[in-house]
């Protein structure tokens, strides 16, 4: 009989607190906390701005819907719900407003 797996699959989760910043504010992620969890715990539920100008945050919470996007260290479209912050990360609100098309 096969042994059951000993550890959970997936990427290794951080075991210590991690310091990073969100829109210039110092934040701290606890062990195993994803970005979305840290932001929600800090009272921030909408950390992106959609095309309609409204705040966006977690919808599916499992990496599928791409609604909770943030910009991390200048890389756009990072999913806050499946991303563990690294020390010193600069997380910035992502604005998805597109410019209007010129009439042609």
Partner 1 sequence: MPDVVVVGAGMVGAACAYHCARAGLSVAVVDRAGVAGGTTGSGEGNILTSDKEEGPEFELGLYSRRQWLALADELDGRTFELERKGGLAVSLDEAMALDLFRTAASQQIQGIVAQVVSGRELKSLEPHLTPNVSGAVYYPEDLQVNPMQAAARLVRGARDLGAEVWLGVDVVGFIRSPAGDGPVRGVRTNAPDCPEIYGDWVINSAGPWAGSLSSLAGADLPIEPRRGVILVAERLPAVVHRKVYGADYRDTVISGGAGVVSSPVIEATKSGTVLIGSTRERVGFDQVIDASLLDHLARAATRYFPVLEDCSAIRYYAGFRPYSPDNLPMIGPDPRVPGLVQACGHEGSGIGLSAGTGAIVADLILGQPTGIEAAPFRPERFEEGR
State the Cα–Cα distance between residues 37 and 44, nearest whole angstrom: 10
Q: Binding partner 1 by CB under 8 A: which of 66, 73, 87, 90?
A: 66
Q: Which stretch binds partner 1 (CB under 8 A): 19-27, 33-41, 83-91, 94-102?
A: 94-102
Q: Which residues pair with 27 in a beta bridge?
A: 20
77 interacts with partner 1 by CB under 8 A: yes
User: What's the sign of the alpha-carbon dihedral 73, 96, 69, 18?
Assistant: positive
59 interacts with partner 1 by CB under 8 A: no
64 interacts with partner 1 by CB under 8 A: yes
By three-state DSSP, how is residue 45 classified? coil
62 interacts with partner 1 by CB under 8 A: no
Query: With contacts defined by CB under 8 A, how many residues of the chain interact with partner 1?
Result: 13
By three-state DSSP, how is residue 83 classified? coil
User: How far, in Å, are 2, 20, 61 from residue 24 at the CA level?
Assistant: 50, 9, 24
74 interacts with partner 1 by CB under 8 A: no
101 interacts with partner 1 by CB under 8 A: yes
Q: Provide the 8-state DSSP code for 60.
A: S
104 interacts with partner 1 by CB under 8 A: yes
């Amino acid at each position: 009989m096969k042994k059951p797996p000993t550890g959970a699959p997936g990427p290794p989760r951080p075991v210590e607190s991690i310091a990073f910043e969100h829109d210039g504010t110092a934040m701290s992620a606890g062990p195993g906390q994803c970005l979305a969890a840290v932001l929600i715990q800090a009272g921030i539920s909408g950390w992106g701005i959609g095309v309609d100008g409204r705040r966006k945050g977690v919808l599916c919470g499992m990496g599928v819907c791409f609604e909770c996007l943030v910009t991390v260290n200048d890389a756009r479209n990072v999913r806050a719900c499946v991303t563990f912050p690294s020390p010193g990360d600069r997380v910035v609100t992502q604005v998805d407003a597109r410019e209007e098309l010129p009439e042609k």
